[in-house]
Structure 1
């Protein structure tokens, strides 16, 4: 089968090459991949900022497809079912986090696209207990967004949004767009901030239900801050979801949030950054981070999409054959569009 392989550490060192088709073992299923989304972490992998423990390895962890085969002991799944898979492949099952259902923090966790061959391939192995059936009205393209949506659900659950809370989302990329919609579904009054280069993305956010959108520029920043304060009775937002993964975004979030507000770091910086953390003390902030997601997050994500509470069509810019992966990565690097999907197989193309 064909797969996009990261064959050595460092920048680049990725190519499509033939690799053996995997065979499912006990408790595993073989998925025929329909779509796999290109994530920011995949860009870090391509750039060499994220290194694997072993090479070669197939990236890709935002996966949808159909079951092609089942391994020994798999009883609850049948060939042909349309599914998405969490990228958790295995855990110890015994530690504190596994027993709490927070297995994403298991120190022994192995993940598709990072430790085990992932979804940028025609077929991928997945753990049968990490599969989720797709609602009948959900196309496979949309299901490839369930991974970032589950992360957004996880983030919003940490924020504890109450009806009418003022929620600021910083960064209108895919995860920010999804977090804004989940926050809106929870009853938040949602503000989305981007840069002047995010004009089209901010229009998308507005069309998907954001109450206000703002573009920051050299001359606009103070005006945006003043407007945010005016719209929140002078206090600032109750909750900040920092989705840009930029130092400037985090600094703005800590500055503008109201006293005793809740700050959630969603985006990854990819490097150490310096921030004024004394504001946490002065403002008595609740500060939290998120890493991945767990089973309830995925089920809620799929339910939100099936119920029409999440607009996903506007977020999918294009789907490309695996052979055109470089075009997709270039689009991501140039911030063209939002979610770029690779379609290793023929794809369903139902959108």
Structure 2
């Protein structure tokens, strides 16, 4: 009996040892597997970023227009008591509404009759996240101003409402252009290196510049065709040729920027899998701050460090505020500058590798 007890005990210990060996092996392979690391790290990075955002005390500033009799009194009250609402006086309601349509004003408070406490609030329908926040904040402002709990007439009207598909189209286009450049172009370039087709091209009379330009132009054409297909399917109509021209320049400059980043990743990696892994690690921080830029002033500053922010803001201005495109040229210039910098960097690294 004692013999069987010892045998069973040893079998159990051996089984535990085998199980533990398998567990250690799986952990070791997981550490070496870039895909698994990415799957684990990305949610951690996202949670850390949200923690940083949650700890920020600064709020976004909102521009609110005020029109009507004794509007300056409410304007002074807002200036004295609120730090994130900036009042602007408008003698004519039409001018305030036009400012909302152009995107320079977040809301317009019209004082129909201050004695009877009759107010009308115009809100832009472009930004769903801030719509309810501004509405509730203005109600609280009026309650504090009158020192009563809403015994007044308060009407809200939404203007500048885009089609639902257009309101989300700028971010979808930003995601698509970034993904084509950073993920697809990098993976394709690395795949050619892995399959030795790049070596075959390098022994031909084709110059480094010719090969590099061919890869870059492919990325530009792919992005441009994809973007216009998305625009057609979403019923985008450009109001004039100038808007269309600026739109094309924006797409080409941003595509050149992200294609150059993708080529850079493909050049420095040795396999398609490593290029996809590194591309994913680059893709996430490029895109995520842009998605949350409107939460606080901190997220706006953070997003401003990445080219996706300038692409998104330019597309938003073109597609949602086509009546006022003057503010987007700075974004386009930044994209063009980054495209030149990344392209030169990627080319010289590629040229060094070829030689």
**Global fold match (TM > 0.5):** no
Shorter-chain TM-score: which interval? under 0.3
Q: Which TM-score applies when normalising by structure 2?
A: 0.22
More strand by share: 1
More helix by share: 2
Larger Rg: 2
